[in-house]
Amino acid sequence: MIKFIEFDSNFLELSFINKTKYILNLLEKHDLKLVINSLINYNKDTLECFNIINSVKKYKIFKQKYNLTNIELISIIINSLIEQNKTKELNKYLKQLEEKKLKLILNYEITNKTLFSRLKLCKDLVKKYNLNSKKEIDPKDRIIDSLEQNNTKSKNKSQKINSSRDLNKKNNILKKQIKSKKAKWSIGTLIMIFVFTICYILLGYLYSIIFFYNTHIYPNIYLNNKLIEGFDHEEIITYLEEYENKLNEKIGFKNVNETFEFTYSDIGVLVNTDELQEKIINNYEDLNGFFKLKEIFLGKELKYEVTYSMDEVKYQEFLNTLSGKVNVPKQEEKFSISNGNINYTKGINGFVINTNNLESLIIDSIIKDEKEISLNGHVETVKNTLGVINKKVGTFTTYYNEAQGRSKNIRNAISKLNGKILYPNETFSFYKTVGPYNSTKGYIFYDKDVGSGVCQVSTTIYNVALLLNLPIVSRSNHGDMVYYVDYGLDATVYGSSVDFKFKNNSSYPIYIEASANNGNLTVSFWSNENIIKPGYSYKPRVEKVSSLSYRTFLDTYYNGNFVGSTFLNSSYYSKGKH
């Protein structure tokens, strides 16, 4: 039964670099094959498993512990897949390999008679590429055979010379031949030694260069416009990790009221560190010595940049979350009077985020190391002007007969008037506020007209406006005198043609409180205590011109003393009070 190591539950969510480090830590505690078996069992992405192991073997810790070639390491992974019955994954991996690399793997598997070499898949591939499992004659064996043949020829020659009649003559000839051969061998030997020495030194030099660049960055490679030739692989991996760690930093999003923080990872920001590691470090690993030297001495200039992008699905989820937190519906300020007490709630500005260029702002912030982004959007501003109201500044009461039908019209008008707010420089229109005076608006027929009785409401408002010295824009007296106020102090209305109007010429808003109960019709104005200059007060005064004609004035007092009078209007009646 195959044993496995239990992995952390969040392993698959880690970045490629962090997965590599995780496996490296496991290899310090466990056997290589056990770790590979466990990785293949836990991670279903076989190609990523190969890439992780391929990345792990670049670390010095791995190289010091395991002296394995690339092919030997791949063989362990391949046979681990077979042991776990993952032939489909194995076949998928083999199909994406280059033919040259696949042949090397097949030769290794056949030579070492591995588990893979017994499979039909392996045998079919061997047959496909016409691979011969028999070993070729070693070049060293050929040299030894050649030397043995030369020795045999030398012995035959010696026998012929020894059998000659003239021994001395042949001996002299032999001596000359020996001297000549020695001379030739001496020169040839020196030349060969010299050539072999030069080749050895050159090969050693070239090998040392290849060995150096197996763990260091190749020439003519730039990262972020900086030449990184000769940098140790681990230095570059650490450098790239710094960019990946930035994704765990927080960025604030500020609107008009507060700031909300998210990590770049939560937002969906991606960085191309895995891709860069593959291109800068892993790209040259499977080249043979000749092509490695070609890249070292003749390689083209390659420039790479750390870039950021966005996971669109995750980014959309972030936008939905941010909008829910940032978007604020506009809330108007609220003001009311209850039992003589002021109830005030300050309004809140509304805000709707504009996300059109937010993605580029987020990418810019991580590049420039900014900690906060001011959100753009549409701000719906609330004025909050009613907070200055702090006092009842004027009130007036008239009386009516609760039993009469007109009392319903009075109460109906009061319900529309109560809570009316008049802002600075705004003109109040009685008709626009409580009219039109018809059954649709809740008014009933009494005496001669629908809405009869509303004139008493307009008259009551008129008298409060006089107490605050507010400019009267439009006022007309009744045709007949009325019973509920003195002559010259009434203000009639009739449809839209005869309206009562006054203007708020102060710097403060006015809140109108109106009530009609048990025959008492009261209108009060609430505003800032400084709507009337300190010490001043105002009081209307009527002068009788004739029995049906009156002139109305507004007297001004300062600290109770009369200081002046202003003419307001004249009133002409056709009948007396009724």
CA dihedral 43, 47, 53, 57 (to 10 degrees): -160
Do both 159 and 123 map to the same domain? no
Is residue 567 included in any domain, yes or no? yes
Do both 475 and 533 map to the same domain? yes
Do both 105 and 188 map to the same domain? no
Asked which of 185, 213, 241 is the last residue of a domain, the reply is 213
Is residue 365 included in any domain, yes or no? no
Residue 279 reports pLDDT greater than 70: yes
Is residue 328 included in any domain, yes or no? no
Query: Could you tell me which of 550, 554, 570 has the C-alpha nearest to residue 562?
Result: 554
pLDDT at 46 (0 to 100): 77
Mean pLDDT confidence for 84-101: 82
Is residue 261 included in any domain, yes or no? no
pLDDT at 516 (0 to 100): 95
Do both 422 and 528 map to the same domain? yes
Residue 471: pLDDT band by 50, 70, 90 thresholds?
Answer: very high
Do both 391 and 540 map to the same domain? yes
Q: Centre a 10 Å sphere on the Cβ of residue 492 and count the other Cβ atoms it contains.
A: 20
Is residue 323 included in any domain, yes or no? no
In the chain, what percentage of residues exceed pLDDT 90?
A: 38
Could you tell me which residue, 166 or 504, shows the higher pLDDT?
Answer: 504
pLDDT at 467 (0 to 100): 96
Ranges 172-186, 251-265, 308-322, 326-340: which has the least confidence: 172-186
Do both 414 and 510 map to the same domain? yes
Residue 153 reports pLDDT greater than 70: no
pLDDT tens profile 380-395? 888 889 999 999 999 9
Do both 446 and 565 map to the same domain? yes
Do both 491 and 522 map to the same domain? yes
Do both 438 and 560 map to the same domain? yes
Asked which of 97, 128, 159 is the last residue of a domain, the reply is 128
Question: CA–CA distance from 532 to each of 201, 254, 325, 509, 566 (Å)?
Answer: 107, 43, 45, 13, 16
Taking the whole predicted model, whether its pTM rises above 0.75 is answered as no
> Across the strands, what pairs with 546?
549
Asked which of 213, 235, 263 is the last residue of a domain, the reply is 213
Do both 25 and 70 map to the same domain? yes
Is residue 284 included in any domain, yes or no? no
pLDDT tens profile 6-25? 888 888 888 888 888 888 88
Q: What is the C-alpha separation between 58 and 52, in angstroms, rounded?
A: 10
Do both 168 and 21 map to the same domain? no
Do both 100 and 164 map to the same domain? no
Task: Report yes or no: 521 and 400 within 8 Å, Cβ to Cβ.
Answer: yes
Is residue 77 included in any domain, yes or no? yes
Is residue 245 included in any domain, yes or no? no
Could you tell me which residue, 104 or 286, shows the higher pLDDT?
Answer: 104
Report strand pairing: 372-374 vs 250-254.
parallel
Question: CA–CA distance from 455 to each of 173, 410, 414, 461, 476 (Å)?
Answer: 159, 9, 11, 10, 11
Q: What is the C-alpha separation between 83 and 3, in angstroms, rounded?
A: 11
Overall number of domains in the chain: 3
Domain that holds residue 174: 139-213
